[in-house]
Amino acid sequence: MQIHDVTARGIRHANRKRVGRGVGSGMGKTATRGHKGQRSRSGDNPRIGFEGGQMPLYRRMPKRGFTNPFKKEFTLVNVGMLDGYEDGATVELAGVLDRGLARKTGKMLKVLGMGELQRKLTVRAHKFSDSAKHKIEAVGGVAEVIS
């Protein structure tokens, strides 16, 4: 055993290839690039997705629809889920998110009418469905639209 055989904690790694150092190096002449062709030349750097002139995948795939940049994202919550609040409480977007009542989070709150409400609440939301508004007001609560 020689000193150069000793490795740290037995970890072995291959020495890096030293290419273009003459024929006697074992990787000389073409320097591991093979003969001819684009990859053998200097300056070989085709763009990402280039498939050698074949129609690339990103152009073969069909394009469908578009994304509306003005779409409004709503956090949806049903009236029945608001029954966990105390009587006379104010319901807002931040409180709904803190309690984990909504799955998808948007920047605006919309209250939908599924479920029953027994508590008198002040609900401040950006939108209400008609049934939700009627159910909140039927128990003496207030459905306040904020813009």
User: Which residue ranges form the domains of the chain, and what is each CATH number?
Assistant: 18-65 (no CATH), 74-145 (3.100.10.10)
SS3 content of the chain, % helix, strand, coil (to 5): 25, 15, 60
d(CA 143, CA 147): 13
Task: Determine the pLDDT at residue 11.
Answer: 67
Task: Determine the pLDDT at residue 114.
Answer: 95
Task: Determine the pLDDT at residue 44.
Answer: 86
- Walk across the sheet containing 122-125 and list its strands: 90-91, 122-125, 142-145
Task: Determine the pLDDT at residue 10.
Answer: 64
pLDDT less than 70: residues of the chain? 7, 10-11
Task: Determine the pLDDT at residue 51.
Answer: 92
Read off the pTM.
Answer: 0.58
- Is 127 in contact with 93 (CB distance < 8 Å)? no
